[in-house]
Structures are given as C-alpha cells and as structure tokens.
Amino acid sequence: MKHSIDLLYAALDGLLPEIIALRHELHTSPEIALHEHATRNYLVSWLTEQGVLDTALVYEPFLGTDLVFEKPGNDRSTVIGLRADMDALPVTERTELSYQSRISGMMHACGHDGHMAMLAGAIVLLHRAGIALPYTVRAIFQPGEEQVCAGADLVSAGVCDGLTRVYALHGWPGLEVGKVSSKPGVMLAAADTYEIICTGKAAHGATPEQGNNPLVPVSEIVGRLLDLHACFSREHGAVITPCAVMGGHNTNTIPGSATILGTTRYLDPQVGNRMEQEIASAVQEISGKYGTACDISHKRLYHLPVVNNSAEVQRVRDTAELVLGEGCYQAMDSHYMVAEDFAFYLDKVPGCMFQLGLGEAHAKLHSDTFDFADEALEAGMLMLASLALGIC
C-alpha cells in the first residue's frame, strides 16, 4: 500500500505542470451542454499522446460528446467508475487571465476544466507510476451536467452498467485548498424549474379599465410562492424561489402577459411532488380570481438528490487521510441545496461525491470571476488515482 502511494507521488512530480497546462487549455475553449465536440477531441488527442488509450477499451459515444474508456485491471469483475463533467456555462468571463475564455459568452465558471484535468491526470498518473491496476477503471467524461441533466441520459444509455462503485469530485470554494469533504446520505438537493405565464388583456395605461392587467395576479402569485417557501422550508428544509418576473416594456402600456421564472429545491422527491401540486393550485386560484389565463411549465430534470453510500464515504475519508495526510478530510456539517446530475449515477451504483477545497476566499461557483485553483489539482489527482487502486 505504502509502496503504491510512494510511486504515485514520484510520478506526480513531473506530471503536475502538464496537468496545469491541460487545464488552462481547456479553460480557453469552453463549450455548452452537448456541444463539447472540440473538448472531447482535445482530450482524446492529449490522452493518446500520453499513451493511456493504447491499451484502453474506448466506448462509442453514448450521447455524441461523451468520452468513456476502460483500463483493464487484474480483477475484471470489479469495475471502478471515475466521472468528470465537461461542459461550461453561458457566462461572459471577467478574470483577465492569460488563459481566459476565447469563446464569447461562455466560460468554465463551475470548474469543469479542473475536473477534466484531474481525471485525465489521474489516469496518466497511474500509467506513469507503473502500478498494475488491481481493478478495471472506467473513466467517464460526461457532457451536459449544467442545464440539460445529461448525466441522467448517460446513465439511461448504460454508462453505469457493470460498475461496482463510482466516484466524482467537485471543486468547492470556501473549503481550504486541497482538503476533501463529504457526508453520507443526502449531500446535495434535487432541483426543478418552473415558468408561469399569465395572460390578461393589453391596454393603454391611461385606460386600465379597458384591459386586464396580468401584473396584478403575477404580483400576488409571487407573494404566495414566498409563503409556500416559508412553509416548505420550515417543514421539509425545501426551497421555492421566484427568480425572475418579466412583463411590460414602457411606462404607459399594460402588457398582455407577464411571466415568472423560478426554481424549487428539495431533499425528498415526494416533497418535490407536493411542491409542484401546491404551486399549480395557488396559480389556478389566483388566476381565476383575476380572470386571467395562466399556463405553468414545471420541469423536473434534476429530480434526484445526491445520496452518498455510507461505506463509500468512509472509503473516501480513509483514502484522504492516508494519501493526503492526517486532517485532510473534513466532514460536511450539512447538505447543500445546489443540485448535481451525479445523483443519477448514485441511484444505480454505490458511490460517493466529495468536495475538493479551492480556498476559503475563492470566487463563488458560477461567478464571472471564477477560476479553478491550480493548487488543488494535485490533491484531486491523487484522490482519484488512489480510489481507482482501491487503496482503502
């Protein structure tokens, strides 16, 4: 065991600068969900140059832009999955870095460039360390984690078939650089989105009696949504948030329609069902009161919370303490209400998602100044490589 760890550290010394360069290159060329063609091609080229695909089983893409391959181990019946997400966000970058996004209106604002670099680096690290793999390792570079929940589609297409256990990490602002954190059970929430369109009757602002102003029921609906939030938050720790209200364009015209956009977050899918029903009931009641027509679109793409297997959380904890050092694991105090489509992997296979610290004062996820911390790459690579080896 100690010999394997020593070999990993020895191989890491010359590899780390290459992984930093890889991440920077990926950061310059972000691609949005299910359009990660250049990203996939670059990863294939880079991994081929490293010699790791020569003896790998490379799967035909399940969704077009995913990259999935296996490195065979001595025990072919045990298959360990390691997943990294690939896609970027529709955000204009404002970091002014030398490797800032070259694609207008797109950036890696959630650290997926770091996730890809660490997974690629972990596979190369195992290759250069010359350690015979005890188990088969399946590397999964997944498109479309943001916006479209492509992880659910990838799982439905069979990416988890045959897996024994599966792991993913996520760079985390607010946690000390290089530290690892997780928790058994629910770690992250499920998430829905809703759109409510209220249609009234347009009129001139000077003659409101000739129209039916949809802003009136919309304002009451927003208030009711906040009341529902207070109730569900108190009883279930769930969230109902109206995030946008749109209607009208000038000072003297009553619009014909107005729209509310928002999200719900919950830890139990049954609570999600109730929230959807309560929102629909409130909208119908208020719409009828004002004589407007209201249409609701409630999308439940991310309808599963991230639920970690207790034994696999313990394995992650033991691995962090052994490989990174005593005190490098920090148990999470509570879950977070953000969502992640790794939930669909964990619904099929025992596994664990864990946080990797990016720094206590690091820019927040999804902000236009976010940049993955290069200082965290080493710890992430070591964790993924060690989990692949089953050191603990």
- CA 365 to chain CA centroid, Å, is 10
- The whole-chain average pLDDT of the chain stands at 97
CB 95 within 8 A of CB 23: no
Of 269, 258, 265, which is closest to residue 222 (Cα–Cα)?
258
pLDDT of amino acid 263:
98
**Is the predicted pLDDT of residue 195 greater than 80, yes or no?**
yes
Q: Give the model confidence (pLDDT) of 336-354 as tens digits.
A: 999 999 999 999 999 999 9
- CA 11 to chain CA centroid, Å, is 30
Q: Give the model confidence (pLDDT) of 31-87 as tens digits.
A: 999 999 999 999 999 999 999 999 999 999 999 999 999 999 999 999 999 999 999
pLDDT of amino acid 340:
98
* Residues found in the chain: 392
- CA dist 282 and 273 (Å) reads 15
pLDDT of amino acid 193:
98
- CA dist 198 and 87 (Å) reads 34
**Locate tokens 């209607």: which residue?**
247
Pairing of strands 165-173, 75-85: parallel
**Is the predicted pLDDT of residue 2 greater than 80, yes or no?**
no
pTM for the whole thing? 0.96
Q: Which domains does the chain have, with CATH numbers?
A: 2-186+305-389 (3.40.630.10), 190-302 (3.30.70.360)
Q: pLDDT over 90 for what percent of the chain?
A: 98
Q: Give the model confidence (pLDDT) of 231-285 as tens digits.
A: 999 999 999 999 999 999 999 999 999 999 999 999 999 999 999 999 999 999 9
- CA 362 to chain CA centroid, Å, is 18
For residue 356, list its beta bridge partners: 171, 180
**Is the predicted pLDDT of residue 1 greater than 70, yes or no?**
no
3 confidence band (pLDDT: 50, 70, 90): confident
Pairing of strands 185-188, 329-331: unpaired
Residue type, 143: P
**Locate tokens 């993924």: which residue?**
384
- CA dist 120 and 118 (Å) reads 5
CB 3 within 8 A of CB 10: no
Q: Give the model confidence (pLDDT) of 87-107 as tens digits.
A: 999 999 999 999 999 999 999
- CA 260 to chain CA centroid, Å, is 25
| Residues of the chain by 3-state class (helix, strand, coil), percent to 5 | 40, 25, 35
- CA dist 248 and 48 (Å) reads 55
pLDDT of amino acid 224:
98
pLDDT of amino acid 245:
98
